[in-house]
């Protein structure tokens, strides 16, 4: 496999992707062609040997699940890849350096297998172009969209719900989201790397403008939109992103917290040094509790150190695919230590306000820094990064 880097393709080592049950299957194009033939011949190989019984193969090629009527569904181990009115089954395969497509057309009696050994390949574009070239649709003028005045209910931030819900990998849910925007004419626009416009067909169904894809929404008992489904991606569902987990909000909270921690980590020792240099001695009522300030400073240092170490451990985000780096595993102890310091500092926040210790603005800053610590801990909890992986 090859990675595009520095203006050229650079050869990469052999991949082993430990994401059971997917990944890590290696094969040749010739063997994949034999595998494909066995599907076209209902379980019989090109040499006449039987791989599976005909009834089992028929069952494998039947659609057993759909997110919504009219959308491509799932067979056993096979995706419904039908496009342009042509029935097709198959599966994609993606690692970091290889992107493959396996597809067969039962009614037409042929199939294809293609694999690209770079990180820049687009098998989806290849497949749809292949089908549209050999099975073109007659051009037609789509009927006008029906007039509905509630397009706003579909707008919002959605994310693919194929992510690790219980481990540190949940952080991947921050990437690959889809923003849906409502237009004045009742249509929708999806933004995810590229923009696409969708026209209303029915209360919860849209079709792609100048395309064959469908976008269907699911609503709960109260009429609130909870999910969205794309006709050509039967293995994925989009769920409405909870307000507090939206990427922009999370980024703003993280950036704000890091700024406060940096001010605390550098400002506390800087002010102490300046006061010693100029012989400034504050009267006791104007001083914040020393132990409380030390606790807040130590917590800020722990949180900053965690973010820095995490950035170093994930300098290449793709490395997380192969497992959690040892450096990151060790860094996960830092928030626990920081949490202990934050709890200690919180006690002195109450004490400072109750006894009017320190100036008003000093108390405000002290309180905000401690509060930022708990906000940061909440963020780590949401993304399953609060504490070591046991």
Q: What is the pLDDT of residue 143?
A: 58
**How confident is the model at residue 10, as a pLDDT?**
94
Backbone region of residue 330 per phi and psi (left: phi > 0; alpha: psi in -120 to 50; beta: other values)? alpha
> What's the pLDDT at 164?
84
**The predicted structure's pLDDT at residue 284:** 60
pTM value is 0.82
Sheet holding 79-80, edge to edge: 79-80, 89-94, 99-105, 110-116
**d(C-alpha 164, C-alpha 95), whole Å:** 17
Of residues 87, 92, 116, 88, the one with CA closest to residue 102: 92
The predicted structure's pLDDT at residue 261? 95
Please report the pLDDT score of residue 19 as a whole number: 67
For the chain, how big is the Rg over CA atoms in Å?
Answer: 28
Longest Cα–Cα distance in the chain:
95
pLDDT of amino acid 321: 65
Q: Which of 39, 162, 17 minimizes the C-alpha distance to 94?
A: 17
Q: Can you give the pLDDT at residue 317?
A: 64
| Positions in the chain short of pLDDT 50 | none
Closest residue by Cα to residue 74 from 281, 234, 253 = 234
Q: Which of 379, 350, 370 is nearest to 260 (CA)?
A: 370
Q: What is the pLDDT at residue 295?
A: 95
State the pLDDT at residue 80: 96
């Amino acid at each position: 496999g090859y990675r595009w880097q520095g203006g050229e393709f650079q050869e990469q080592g052999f991949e082993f992707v430990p994401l059971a049950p997917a990944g890590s299957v290696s094969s040749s194009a010739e063997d994949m062609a034999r595998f494909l033939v066995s599907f076209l011949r209902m379980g019989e190989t090109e040499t006449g040997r039987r791989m599976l019984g005909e009834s089992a193969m028929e069952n494998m090629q039947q659609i057993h699940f759909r997110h919504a009527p009219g959308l491509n569904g799932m067979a056993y181990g096979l995706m419904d890849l039908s496009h342009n009115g042509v029935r097709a089954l198959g599966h994609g395969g993606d690692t970091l350096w290889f992107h493959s497509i396996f597809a067969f057309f039962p009614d037409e009696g042929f199939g294809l297998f293609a694999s690209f050994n770079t990180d820049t390949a687009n098998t989806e574009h290849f497949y749809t172009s292949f089908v549209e070239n050999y099975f073109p649709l007659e051009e037609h003028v789509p009927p006008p969209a029906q007039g509905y005045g509630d397009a706003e209910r579909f707008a919002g931030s959605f994310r693919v719900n194929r992510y690790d819900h219980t481990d540190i990998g949940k952080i991947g849910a921050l990437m690959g989201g889809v923003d849906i925007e409502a237009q004045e004419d009742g249509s929708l626009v999806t933004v995810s790397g590229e923009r696409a416009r969708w026209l209303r067909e029915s209360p919860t169904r849209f079709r792609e403008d100048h395309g064959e894809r469908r976008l269907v929404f699911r609503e709960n008992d109260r009429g609130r939109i909870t999910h969205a489904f794309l006709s050509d991606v039967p293995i994925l569902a989009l769920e409405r992103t909870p307000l507090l987990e939206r990427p922009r909000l999370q980024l703003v909270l993280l950036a704000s917290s890091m700024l406060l921690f940096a001010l605390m980590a550098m400002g506390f020792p800087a002010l102490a040094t300046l006061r010693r240099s100029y012989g400034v001695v504050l009267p006791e009522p104007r001083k914040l509790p020393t132990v409380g300030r030390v606790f807040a400073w130590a917590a800020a240092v722990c949180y900053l150190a965690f973010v820095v170490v995490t950035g170093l451990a994930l300098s290449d985000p793709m490395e997380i695919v192969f497992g959690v780096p040892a450096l990151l595993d060790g860094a996960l102890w830092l928030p626990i230590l920081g949490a202990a310091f934050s709890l200690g500092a919180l006690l002195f926040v109450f004490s400072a306000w109750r006894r009017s210790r320190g100036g008003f603005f000093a108390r405000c800053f002290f309180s905000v820094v401690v509060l930022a610590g708990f906000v940061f801990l909440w963020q780590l909890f949401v993304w399953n990064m609060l504490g070591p992986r046991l």
